Structure 1
Amino acid sequence: MLAVHRQFILPGHRGLHADVTVIPTGELEVNIKEKNNSLKAEFEDLYFFSSGKATDIVCRDPVSHDEVRWQLHMASDDARELAKMIESAEEEFEILMRDL
């Protein structure tokens, strides 16, 4: 069970790069390199909202689902790739737990 790391270029923000780490135990870490901004979330707190060629990834507060902790604007293709990475990590973790 390994964390998966990927770098994405954020649309609409000249030259901003998001270093994304998907951790199979159910965590996502995002670091915006140019802003030295670190974001963290549990998988179950993430919501994907697509509109055209862009997707907003929203991390909501686990207690008050109306409160947004952070939001990331990504290209839809990149967001789909991230969603697949999260899904694979969840499956990998589930298989590991079943085998124990």
Structure 2
Amino acid sequence: MLAENRLFTLPDESGLHADITVVPTGELKVTILEKNSSMQGDFNQLYFYSDGKRTELVCKDQLVPENIQWHVHLANDDARELAKLIEMAEEEYEILMRDL
């Protein structure tokens, strides 16, 4: 069970790059390299909203879903890849826990 890491170029953000790590224990870590800003959230806090050629990844507060902790825009293909990585990490973790 290893963390998966991807580097995505953000659309409409003048060449900013997001270094995203999917941790199989249920956590996503996002670092905007050029701004040296880091964000993180649990899988159950994450929502994908498609809007034309890009998808917004939103991390919402679990207790008050109206409160957005952070968000980042991704290209649709990058968002689909990230969603698959999250799904695979959840399945892998579930299998591991079941085997224990």
Query: For this structure pair, what is the TM-score category when the shorter chain's length is used for normalisation?
Result: over 0.9
Aligned to 1:96: 96
* Structure 1 stretches of at least 4 aligned residues deviating more than 4 Å after TM superposition: none
* 1:62 aligned partner, one-letter code: Q
Structure 2 residue runs without a partner (length 5+): none
Aligned-partner Cα distance in 2 for 1:29–1:92: 18
> Where in structure 2 are the equivalents of 1:1-100 lying within 5 Å?
1-100=1-100
Between the two proteins, the alignment pairs up a number of residues equal to 100
Query: Share of identical aligned residues, percent?
Result: 60
Aligned-partner Cα distance in 2 for 1:76–1:56: 9
Give the alignment's TM-score, normalised by structure 1.
0.98
Q: Report the aligned-residue RMSD.
A: 0.5
Q: Secondary structure at the match of 1:77?
A: helix
Q: Secondary structure at the match of 2:69?
A: strand
* 1:25 aligned partner, one-letter code: T
Structure 1 residue runs without a partner (length 5+): none
